[in-house]
Structure 1
């Protein structure tokens, strides 16, 4: 999708034609009168007295493409949308801060999230009053049709305005509680590091590597945390860390999630074995995994990890930038699509016949055996079941073990495999190719810079470091808004969206990596300047950083996210940058700023050190420099800090395995035992002012797709008085949960996983909401 789909004389053209985002340009010829996110669009909604329909997605999103084909290209559905709403289309990769707010609203309202995100807003304060994700054009998957949703919400806004606005206030308050709360600092230290490490080791899949089940994501930040911690833990814990990191990197490196022919990593694996990927490739994944494999190659002196790092770097340099541009005049592209010709992974799949067409018979036989085609097919397109099965290429074992099975040296095995891969890649390049989102995203480029620098040092590959240097030069000189500020993204020589905290902190991290690796004194001047700018733009009080600048009139709150997910939190990266500077610079101000920022994230470290992995990594870094920090901070010891994992709620289920099929629903019981003196917020928390800021009890899908979930929540008991009155549960409660097959329903592709979300309180305060995975194995027939 380097350019949008066009025709010689399109019937429709909307405002998105003025965008640079490939995702928005894809929709520029829809019959929907799409608007850009702007004050003018909301002013139109106020003038027409209609709500706003906000559709959020990204260019490589499969279900975004599906909803466009089914609904946004429909003249009939577009007519309803245009008549009753002002319709805004947003690229989440250009505006992660907006996406974050409305995704929080969606998960609070529905128990799950995903893209495309479909959110309905009141136009005055832009608060959401109803949220969802994908909707089909006709009722199916146990979901209403999109026209039904549109007509129902248009009627509600017209006839029940007070109720709609009341709901928007309540939902906005819940979002504010989740993404912008500032908590009082607490003492953190060794106990919380121990908790993060032991928690990750408990989550570790000892058979397949990784953390959790299917769908399985790489989660490099978890392994970076473990590698940070291995130097300060006891020998047994260090051995457990090494086992978990090495098994994970081994299984990913031999699996289908790694492109064995072309290099680079796909987004995630739909199974627990790292075998069949969701085929899109994201720059942020490859930047982080490049850094991780290069670091692990150095830590463990491992040639296989060196090979993976090199192939990943070569893939990015070959396919994710404009080779015709002069060095330093452009950055790296953001993503490659999962589908080709509406077929998932079509470019990457092979069958025996195709292998035999490309290779001489001996090499074909070798490839068929090495890549597992002799064991049968392993991929069938779930969206096109009538088509023939094929293969994702993968290895059974690490290369040296495969070589030994074949009676070959590792060197001769890899030489032959590389020659075969070159032929397969050349043949693959003649196929229709996945679309490339060629916008340049600041923070994602910075992640890649860090990976290229680490790989360049470990592999002694100067070209990788030079590519990183050119990317930094582009970000410092060209990736600028018309006002001269750092920009979030760049495409077609335009960069108009101001960068957020994530962009500033990731660029700082990349520049520090480059300056240290290359002994670049002049670069420290730019680093110092960027630290100052970041503080001025995003720090509200000493050590408290926000995702956005102050006084953003287009946001109903100022978000402050600490969670490290697929991309790192800007707040956590700021804490980590400051902590690193303690060991680099001699001035005491770095200690002062680092301590302030640690205090700003300390409550989150104490309550969930894994969720805020980079903040925990900052704590690890500071504890290694505690001699330098001295009396500036009193770290909590191993015995005097409260346990961050302690939770007064125990969750039980009546069944550990459940199957559903067509016309064959199932049910089970969930029981919660709540320790005194605690209680949890009921599913219906009430209508008081206090209830609007609390998270109600919910059961739903937290991963995967394919089932709809219904729960018969018990009525709560009243607690408190007046504006503080809420509905709660205490002691023991038990209720029924029903599930049924519903194709396409769920936050992500893959196997469905159930979770329960609740917020625990005592007489005086409430803990942060938690989501617990229910130990129920779901099978869809």
Structure 2
């Protein structure tokens, strides 16, 4: 049950003095964006549900998020329109939901919209009965009838007319639809992981764009789950297919880093590319993209022996962006908007305005500066593909917002650009860094895009994992220190009595505030956080991280376990009549995909077979997907491979700072080892020594390193020479 302080008269008075509707009481940046709409919006909760039943009005449910471009468009066209608001207020109960706060609501009704219309997206617009059963739905609706589409007012009038005439039949149909949305509970045998791996690899190979990198055509998304699969495939297959996977990865990661999807001046990556060239992006930036790409670039750096300095540069570039969207105490904010005002006198926001450049603007900023004998401006224009009339084709800019603008990208190698201007590569790099700093300082004077300052647990966890992997790839302690700072933030603000919360918010004074709703966490918050804690335990060896992971796994099982996977939400969530189980690794992996791997890692460390069996039930629950459409679950496929083939577990016994164990940890960080788990044991009383084999090791010679591969352990290694021989064989 969500508790809302609607009884506080002073708060209510302040709300109505400042805002037009109830969303003024909320903390979500997305809901607050709509607090001044003339629509009588309700947040998701019992007050709205009761009002719908008492008035016998259908519900209009609008779901989006604060950095969603088309959500802004529909707000401006329809939700700020007084006439449209009048139709809604008189005939519907209007509910606004931030999909990032309530993924359970979002995913339930998105499943309906996709099934009914064949596609989904945001804003999501769904009409419901007062019992919260679907009537019809879609995504963005235009403000009037045009181009073969019905306008939003027309749709509203059609729905309210049908409701008055056929309300009972719509209710009955809605009840049937909800029953059809119930997840299947069947389980079955799963194919061999080699077959699953080969199927996913073949799909990626057949869709690979060998010229431009990435997979398929426009639009192109930097889908980390698929890239991480190829890294795992390359680790498992040392033959020609593994080498081809590395080729696909390298081309894709380098093309993304060179393209306009990468913010060369402001750092970090935009959401996706609207074209097939990684050139013109959709300009919003999401924390979950930065965090996952940080992990992907870092793992690829280790996979390839840390040979590519450009990859190391990208790792630091992503980190620098994450620092820009960080709270001083260690949490990371959710996202930055694609839209902003072109200048401080502008009234209308435009997509990409904060990031793009006219040629003359760059020329004026760089002035007469030189690199060697070359003009800095000429070098920069060549390096970043700056053109007189802009470098954005009309096909990538249907609304003309980027006319005469340049989205910076690299089409030349540094050697080619340096040769064009009779420079050394070092001279070129120095000049480009000088120019980037000048351009960044100019950009900071532009109106900033909206920052969604919501701090979501699942995305803090992804950040922790990405930062740990960045440390492993570079051995720069700033990354692991930042990961620990984020973990401490989660413990302080997002964890209470052994349970996680979904999100907290940035207050007006820069402080952290709780929401007005009791914002319980979801299964992805738990799964991702357990993963992050296990990652931290792997590299720093602190028992507190392992202990927190174990306790959170217990809570996750109690709240979300279905018998063969993990529900998105708890049973107690009001209004959500169907508990969904995600079955596709998308922009973020599913909770069950990550949890299945967490369970196997916990088994490796604790030697408790219950973890391993629960992971098996996850695979059996997803057997139809894994057998027929494994491309939908690349992260779970990696966990399945671990379950069937076993892990590589290193047990480090003895004084943590002993020369042998310090060297062992260094080597474990340097090399990307397939399905790795690490156990740190300083004494027989530690939790890592609770399993029978590990307990026996704790009583053996110290310091010592044991390697258990597959399902068998080797003899203790006591010398650095022996350790060297072992790692040379891996």
TM-score normalized with structure 1 length: 0.75
| Counterparts of residues 736-755 of structure 1 (less than 5 Å) | none
Match of 1:377 in 2: 390
Q: Is 1:58–1:91's contact at 8 Å kept on the other side of the alignment?
A: yes
| Counterparts of residues 714-733 of structure 1 (less than 5 Å) | none
Q: Is 1:10–1:29's contact at 8 Å kept on the other side of the alignment?
A: no
Q: Is 1:228–1:620's contact at 8 Å kept on the other side of the alignment?
A: no
Deviation at 1:626, TM superposition (A): 7.0
Which structure carries more helix by proportion?
A: 2
C-alpha change, 1:238 and 1:627, in structure 2 (3 Å) is closer
2:468 aligned with 1:464? no
Q: Which residue of 552, 558, 561 maps to 1:536?
A: 558
Match of 2:284 in 1: 280
- CA deviation map 1:609-656 (0-9, x unaligned): 11011110101222341799xxxxxxxxxxxxxxxxxxxxxxxxxxxx
CA distance in structure 1 between the partners assigned to 2:366 and 2:322 by the alignment: 26
Q: Is 2:63–2:99's contact at 8 Å kept on the other side of the alignment?
A: yes
Q: Which residue of 502, 522, 547 maps to 1:488?
A: 502
CA distance in structure 1 between the partners assigned to 2:366 and 2:85 by the alignment: 50
2:158 aligned with 1:152? yes
Match of 2:96 in 1: 89
| Counterparts of residues 185-584 of structure 1 (less than 5 Å) | 185-189=188-192, 190-233=194-237, 235-300=239-304, 301=306, 302-317=308-323, 319-322=324-327, 325=328, 327-328=329-330, 331-341=331-341, 342-361=349-368, 362-374=375-387, 377-379=390-392, 382=397, 384-385=399-400, 388-400=403-415, 402-403=417-418, 406-480=421-495, 485-491=499-505, 492=507, 493-495=513-515, 496-541=518-563, 543-584=564-605
C-alpha change, 1:600 and 1:384, in structure 2 (3 Å) is closer
Q: Is 2:585–2:635's contact at 8 Å kept on the other side of the alignment?
A: yes
**Secondary structure at 1:373's aligned position in 2?**
coil
CA RMSD of aligned residues (A): 2.2
C-alpha change, 1:627 and 1:573, in structure 2 (3 Å) is closer
Large movers: runs of 4+ above 6 Å: 7-11
CA distance in structure 2 between the partners assigned to 1:401 and 1:508 by the alignment: 46
CA distance in structure 1 between the partners assigned to 2:397 and 2:631 by the alignment: 34
CA distance in structure 1 between the partners assigned to 2:64 and 2:160 by the alignment: 22
Deviation at 1:582, TM superposition (A): 4.0
CA distance in structure 1 between the partners assigned to 2:59 and 2:400 by the alignment: 37
Match of 1:166 in 2: 172
Q: How many residues align?
A: 610
Q: Which residue of 20, 32, 46 maps to 1:25?
A: 32
Deviation at 1:138, TM superposition (A): 1.4
Deviates more, 1:459-468 or 1:143-152: 459-468
Deviates more, 1:110-119 or 1:160-169: 160-169
Q: Is 1:506–1:570's contact at 8 Å kept on the other side of the alignment?
A: yes
- CA deviation map 1:185-239 (0-9, x unaligned): 2132121121111122112122211111101100111110111111322511012
Deviation at 1:273, TM superposition (A): 0.4
Match of 1:665 in 2: none
Deviation at 1:280, TM superposition (A): 0.3
Deviation at 1:406, TM superposition (A): 4.8
C-alpha change, 1:363 and 1:627, in structure 2 (3 Å) is closer
C-alpha change, 1:117 and 1:419, in structure 2 (3 Å) is same
Q: Is 1:12–1:31's contact at 8 Å kept on the other side of the alignment?
A: no
- CA deviation map 1:475-512 (0-9, x unaligned): 1221147x773111110311431010011001111111
**Secondary structure at 1:499's aligned position in 2?**
coil
Unaligned runs of 5+ in 2: 1-13, 342-348, 369-374, 508-512, 650-730
Match of 1:4 in 2: none
Deviates more, 1:240-249 or 1:374-383: 374-383
- CA deviation map 1:399-422 (0-9, x unaligned): 455445555444433222212111
Q: Is 2:499–2:555's contact at 8 Å kept on the other side of the alignment?
A: no
